[in-house]
Structures are given as structure tokens and as C-alpha cells.
Amino acid sequence: MSTQLPSTTGLLPPEFVAFTASPATEPFWDAAREHRLVVPRCSSCGTFRLPPAVFCWNCRSLDVEWIEHDGAGDLYSYTVIRHAVIPSMADVLPIVVGVVELPGTNGCRLIGDVIGCDPESVHIGMPLLLDWYDVADGSVPCFRPRA
């Protein structure tokens, strides 16, 4: 899915979103531009490593393969941002930032905004689906409730 939402929906305005890919994260961001989620897995021991890292923290191997994942997961943790530290962000608040556990990845978690629901209805264990928020440099993951 591609999300082209107005800035009043709990997402940062696109001009606030910037990221710089490193050699370890470039495949992740390249896939994100195509609205695909890929998770790095050590091709030596099979350990998933998200966020992407240069080497496997389990066996120290530099070998990696990128496994496609549908992005469906359960909310592990979250926070609701209600106070505009930057005054120009006041119109987009509240923003729910969640940590989503991805099944089948040995506990890998991905951070993204939780959209499409009232912040008061968000809860730990909430089933979520991956969506994409298109910004100038590419796309970033966000999540919405599973029906």
C-alpha cells in the first residue's frame, strides 16, 4: 500500500522526514522505495538483524541475505506524542510511534507511526499491517490496525 495522507493524520510532515542510507541499510531503503519490506538475515547462522547491521551480532559474520516480509505484526511498545516541541508540528499531533514485532524473524522489531486509528484505542499486542508513507527521499514504514 502507498499512503498519500494529509499532514493532519498523525504523520510528520514530509519535509521533516530525512534519512541517509549507509552500506548496511541501503538494501532496506531501496526496497522501501518499492513499498517492500526486507529484513536482513545472516546467511551463516540464520540470525535476523533489524535494524540492519554490518555484521551479525550472533556469529560476527559479514554475510547477509535480504528476506522479504509482509510487515504484519503486533505492537510491542508505543508512545503518543502530544506536545509540539517544534511549534510547526502542532497541527499533526498527536502522533503514535510504535515498535512492531515481526513474526518469523526471531523477535525483530521495526519502528513506525501507527496511523488510521484513534490514539486512545492503541494498545500493546494490537495487530497491525504495514503501510508506506512516501516522502521526498523515498518511503518510510508506518502501520495501521488489522481489520
Of 127, 72, 93, the closest CA to residue 11 belongs to 93
138-145 and 73-81 as β-strands: parallel, antiparallel, unpaired?
A: unpaired
Once rounded to an integer, what is the mean pLDDT over residues 96-102? 97
Once rounded to an integer, what is the mean pLDDT over residues 114-132? 97
Q: Please tell me the predicted confidence (pLDDT) of residue 6.
A: 45
β-sheet bridge partners, residue 133: 3, 140
pLDDT of residue 4 exceeding 80 = no
Of 63, 17, 26, the closest CA to residue 41 belongs to 63
Q: How far apart are CA 109 and CA 14, in angstroms?
A: 23
**What is the secondary structure of 5-62 as a DSSP string?**
--TTSSS--GGG------TTTHHHHHHHHTT-EEEEEETTT--B-SS--SS-TTT---
Query: What does pTM read for this prediction?
Result: 0.89
Once rounded to an integer, what is the mean pLDDT over residues 86-111? 94
The amino acid at 119: P
pLDDT of residue 1 exceeding 90 = no
Q: How far apart are CA 73 and CA 51, in angstroms?
A: 16
Confidence of residue 9 (pLDDT cuts 50, 70, 90): low
Which residues have CB under 8 Å from 125's CB, separation 6+? 74, 75
Q: Please tell me the predicted confidence (pLDDT) of residue 10.
A: 85
Say if residues 114 and 77 touch (Cβ distance below 8 Å).
no
